[in-house]
Structure 1
Amino acid sequence: MGGRSIDVELELPSSNAARTMVLVGRTGNGKSATGNSILGKKAFNSRRSSSTVTTTTELKTATLEDGQQINVIDTPGLFDNSAKSDFIGKEIVQCIKLAKDGIDAVLVVLSTKTRLSEEEESAIRSLETLFGSKIFDYMIIVFTGGDELEENDSTLEDYLGRDCPEPLKEILGLCGNRCVLFDNKTKDESKRVEQVQRLLSLVNLVTAQNGGRPYTDEIFAEVKKEAMKLRDQQEEVASLEGYSKRDISHLNEQMQLAHDLQLKRITEMVNFHLHFVCI
């Protein structure tokens, strides 16, 4: 068998700590639809299309019945062959900016309706190049197309056991065989909740295995440092006395420009790394 789903109990996370998940994958695999299923509402634009529907990285949130906050970050088609490195770099920095406290899980969205492409395999490998091999400790594979498998009286285990290509086997192995099947077309609310609970149980497993620490690295540290610096400067300016509103507005504009220049520098650093990776 190419990979196996992990047997986890269907339970909501016991901790009320917010969980931040990032959706990555190729256009058409159902990233935005998966995000909507997780959140239980139509938060992201989603429709069947050969072109990218999500055009920029977005963060949407929902609160579960137990009070836990779920943060889902949807990214544009970073795995698409047409995506340019400067665009990818900008969106990665935006993603990090939104996930300011780190990422609890990276959800790699693949479709059971198509084979793993060379572009997808290369893109997943590029994440290792950019963020280090530890990023795989936070990865979960979300297979979409559960509706079609069900129509064919098939399961995810059947799908992974039928001539599973070697690259997919390797990716699943790197991710600790953490995977889950989603039917984003279901109208059955209990079924939607069940598959989301299974995913959240895997997220909790990832969190436990990583000592409760979200994923961060030097790029996160750089972006967070700049955000905190800007916030502190803005608070300092707000407390100034004897300055006109116009002067304070001008100071804020100057600080924002300096902040944007620093983010541009960080983006260029990301692009430099991506330049040596085929995406």
Structure 2
Amino acid sequence: METKRPLQTTADDVPDPEEEEKKAAAAARVANRLSELRLVLLGWRWPGKSLTGNTILGREEFRLERAAEFCVKRQTEVEGRQVTVVDTPGWFSAQDTPPSYQQEIVRGASLCPPGPHAFLLVIPVGMFSEVDRARIEEHVSLLGERIWRHTIVVFTWAEVLRNISIERYIRREGKDLQWVLEKCKRRYFVINNCVFGQHPQLGRLMERVEKIVAEEGGFYNPEEVEEKKKPLDENQNPAENKVKEGRELGARPKQNSALALAKPMEVDPPLSE
């Protein structure tokens, strides 16, 4: 009886692990790709926050010459995606942030309904102190603990590092910066704001945002922001109070207030090119 010889395998038959990994990554990008992305910028004054928004949009839409007091929303198309960017007022590093600014920061999340896919927490490369960490915690917490699940730290001014890697910089800055990165699951991105137009980094940044959406199961819902419990009015029952709280979620400006009068600023059409 004739015995069957075992089939011989060649090098071409053995799958290349590196090639397989590339194929899997490409398939994941296709599966995660969104036709629309909604982003909110957070950070203190002058860290390159508005400049980062301009880099994403590919043109100067957010004014850099003065500190903004109100949220501003702009839209454009980036690599076939409709991208909405909301720039929020920057908080102060050495003094208390006015309540009106805090309200605007919270309101920023409601300006791109049904909710942002990601918050970009802009941090300039440099000395990062315990005070910086405390200010970030103070202002990010205005939007609830769940915001950290949708946050990416975006490092600006990284060119000052020269030959130092961003990983080495993070280790060098110690526990305060480490705390921030751990809160957002060590999601961070380094952006070069000196390039406009067809920016080589934007595709990777958009993929990072899409990965967050895939991992966290969707977008951040501003209606889930927990308000501090308020005492009931003696003539108001709990059910009525709950309805009132629902209307006030998102800290929208009250009628006839300075914020309400300035509200049209958020829907200005993009600057003409």
Using the size of structure 2 for normalisation, the TM-score is: 0.67
Count of aligned pairs between the two proteins: 214
Deviation at 1:182, TM superposition (A): 1.1
Aligned partners of 1:100 and 1:224 also within 8 Å: no
Residue of structure 1 aligned with 2:34, choices 15, 31, 43: 15
Counterpart Cα distance in 1 of 2:225 and 2:129: 28
Counterpart Cα distance in 2 of 1:121 and 1:91: 21
Instruction: Give the equivalent residue in structure 2 for 1:3.
Output: none
Structure number with the bigger relative contact order (C-alpha 8 A, sep ≥ 6) is 1
- The answer to whether structure 1 residue 61 and structure 2 residue 67 are counterparts is no
Residue of structure 2 aligned with 1:100, choices 113, 127, 134: 113
Instruction: Give the equivalent residue in structure 1 for 2:123.
Output: 110
Instruction: Give the equivalent residue in structure 1 for 2:84.
Output: 71
Deviation at 1:72, TM superposition (A): 0.8
- Give the aligned residue type for 1:139: T
Q: Which runs of 5+ in 2 are unaligned?
A: 1-24, 228-242, 261-273
Residue of structure 1 aligned with 2:165, choices 141, 155, 169: 155
Identity of aligned residues (%): 26
Cα gap change, 1:147 to 1:195, in 2 (>3 Å): same
Cα gap change, 1:226 to 1:116, in 2 (>3 Å): same
Instruction: Give the equivalent residue in structure 2 for 1:249.
Output: none
Cα gap change, 1:82 to 1:160, in 2 (>3 Å): same
Counterpart Cα distance in 1 of 2:146 and 2:138: 13
Aligned partners of 2:70 and 2:101 also within 8 Å: no
Counterpart Cα distance in 2 of 1:226 and 1:212: 23
Q: Give the root-mean-square deviation of aligned CA atoms.
A: 3.4
Counterpart Cα distance in 1 of 2:170 and 2:253: 45
Residue of structure 2 aligned with 1:204, choices 210, 215, 240: 210
Q: Which runs of 5+ in 1 are unaligned?
A: 1-7, 228-258, 268-279
Aligned partners of 1:105 and 1:138 also within 8 Å: yes
Deviation at 1:21, TM superposition (A): 1.0
Cα gap change, 1:102 to 1:165, in 2 (>3 Å): same
Counterpart Cα distance in 1 of 2:159 and 2:99: 36
Counterpart Cα distance in 2 of 1:205 and 1:32: 24
Cα gap change, 1:123 to 1:103, in 2 (>3 Å): farther
Q: Which moved more, 1:165-174 or 1:194-203?
A: 194-203
SS at 1:141 equivalent: strand
Counterpart Cα distance in 2 of 1:164 and 1:119: 13
- Give the aligned residue type for 2:183: L
- Give the aligned residue type for 1:14: R
Deviation at 1:129, TM superposition (A): 3.8
- The answer to whether structure 1 residue 82 and structure 2 residue 82 are counterparts is no
SS at 1:217 equivalent: helix
Counterpart Cα distance in 1 of 2:220 and 2:108: 14
- Give the aligned residue type for 2:70: T
Counterpart Cα distance in 2 of 1:109 and 1:197: 18
Cα gap change, 1:209 to 1:165, in 2 (>3 Å): same
Aligned partners of 2:70 and 2:89 also within 8 Å: yes
Aligned partners of 1:29 and 1:144 also within 8 Å: yes
